[in-house]
Amino acid sequence: MTRAFSITPLTARTALSGLMRMIGISVRTLWPAQLAVIVLSAGMVAATARGIEGLYPTEADRAQYAATVGVSTVNIAFNGRGYDLTSLGGITAFEIGITGQLLYPLVGMILAIHLTRRQEEAGRIELLTAGRLGALTPLGAGIVLVVADAAIAGALIAAAMIVVGLPGAGAAWYGAGAAACIIFFGALGLLLGQLCQSARTAYLAGACAVTAAFLVRAVLDGMDVDLTWISPLGWLPEIRAFGAAGQRRAWPLIAYGAGFLLLVAVSGTLALRRDLGDGLLAPRPGPARAHRGLATGIGLTWRQCRSAVTVWGVLAVSWALAMGLMSKEVTELVDANPAILRSMGLERGTDLLVMMAAVVSASAAAAVGVQAGGVLGQAGGGAVDPAAARTPMGRVVDDGGIRLPGGHGDLIPDPGGEHLVRQRSAGGAEDRPHGRSRVRHARRAHDRGVRRALRARAALDGAGLASGRLVLHRGLPR
């Protein structure tokens, strides 16, 4: 007897089934990251606009600013091209400059990766897709939330500018440009989330993309080359939000929108063609044998933090070098604008350079501290149990145990449910029990994984998403 099977064709409705429920779950569980995008963007603009109002209250002060700071090659390279610098709105948009051109794309990209690849890497998407969710539902939820958060941030940016007394039309144009920038780079983050198998790789690739866009824009603007359309970060100043009605330009908003649609289309195509948890840029495999230094706490911590220490160290040194090369011009500009020194409580322009170098160094140290704190936080998840048991870390395999490097042995479950650690001799002919402390640490890690799976099952039951059985693998959790 032949049994016929029917395959449901993939349509927009089936691919995005459960979208509203997925959005609701993401809002309830991931609201801190979404709130951070809104607060950081709007708060930075509000603080800058409030400070500019007090620094340049008169027409003479603003004219002096336009004649000195506004024509400086260094400032143009850092902040982008300035327009309408004799008005408070133009000065505010120019002074937001480097901070906004780094903050807007980074928060959009980090949020997009956090909503998609980070959740998929943690296994949460796999649990949710056990219910009635379409193939594009996680990506669709990420798109909706990124756009919604960017729109809220843009509205609050415009409101903050209006509150401090800037023109409403100019504030609306600038808020729309900031939201469009966040959305565009958020779409780039969604694409990286589909390409990269690891969230860490996606974050690093996104940071490199933003840095490259900023450097291209800085070089072109510093050399006064009329190619602002090449870098997406050069589009935001070209809106000319606080110019006259006929001077404002809409093409940057159109470019951001077109780029967003293109990136989303590519991301959707990749999402349909890849397996869950997979990516086109798979992480390279590690060495077959672990280094002996990983058996110590210092060695494991350095292995986890070395990338952050190296990257932030290079950035701090590069920033200090750039400040040293431009110290003469920056000092002259600051000395020519006493209002800047008075607002910061400084006496000389060189004091400002020292303060900026100290801020960057402190930020780099704080970033490394956060990375180290994340490594320490992995202790609760059992990630450092092998090191705590003074065992060189090996690879976790799906055959029910941990294989230790260098032929030290296998941790395997016996048929009776007891976990044993056996050490092979050099010839591989004899096995003997070894390491009771390793057994205890491994069993604790296993129990923690089982408890997490049970809590996830309970959460799915409460949300009405669970269907079928939740299979708990007997092997140690990865």
What tens digit of pLDDT does each residue of 335-363 get? 776 766 666 666 676 777 777 777 777 77
- E runs forming strands in 168-325: none
Q: What are phi and psi of 116, to 5 degrees?
A: -115, -80
What average pLDDT score do residues 169-179 get? Answer: 94
CA distance 429 to 408: 13
Specify the pLDDT at position 191.
95
User: Are the CB atoms for 252 and 235 separated by under 8 Å?
Assistant: yes
141 exposure class (CB count in 10 Å sphere: 0-12, 13-18, 19+):
buried
User: Are the CB atoms for 466 and 131 separated by under 8 Å?
Assistant: yes
What average pLDDT score do residues 249-268 get? Answer: 95
Amino acid (1-letter code) at residue 371: Q
Element (H, E) at 409: strand 409-413
Greatest mean pLDDT range, 301-305, 429-433, 470-474:
301-305
Encoding tokens for residue 45?
A: 């603009």
Stronger pLDDT, 378 or 431, i.e. the higher one: 378
Measured in whole angstroms, the distance separating CA 103 from the mean position of its chain's CA atoms is: 11
Specify the pLDDT at position 80.
87
Stronger pLDDT, 200 or 376, i.e. the higher one: 200
Instruction: State how beta strands 409-413 and 431-433 pair.
Output: unpaired
Q: What is the mean pLDDT of the chain?
A: 76
Q: What are phi and psi of 410, to 5 degrees?
A: -120, 140
User: Are the CB atoms for 153 and 43 separated by under 8 Å?
Assistant: no
- pTM, entire model: 0.71
Q: Confidence band (pLDDT; 50, 70, 90) for 365?
A: confident
Q: Is 432 helix (H, G, I), strand (E, B) or coil?
A: strand
Encoding tokens for residue 43?
A: 């708060």
Q: Is 423 helix (H, G, I), strand (E, B) or coil?
A: strand
**Looking at 135-139, 385-389, 406-410, 454-458, which range is the least confident one?**
406-410
431 forms bridges with which residues in the sheet?
424
What tens digit of pLDDT does each residue of 261-301 get? 999 999 999 988 888 878 887 777 767 777 777 777 777 77
What tens digit of pLDDT does each residue of 105-136 get? 999 999 999 999 999 888 888 888 777 778 88
Q: Confidence band (pLDDT; 50, 70, 90) for 4?
A: very low
Q: Tally the residues of the chain.
A: 478
Alpha-carbon distances, residue 367 vs 346, 371, 378, 443 (angstroms)? 27, 6, 17, 34
CA-based nearest residue to 454, from 462, 134, 386, 22:
462
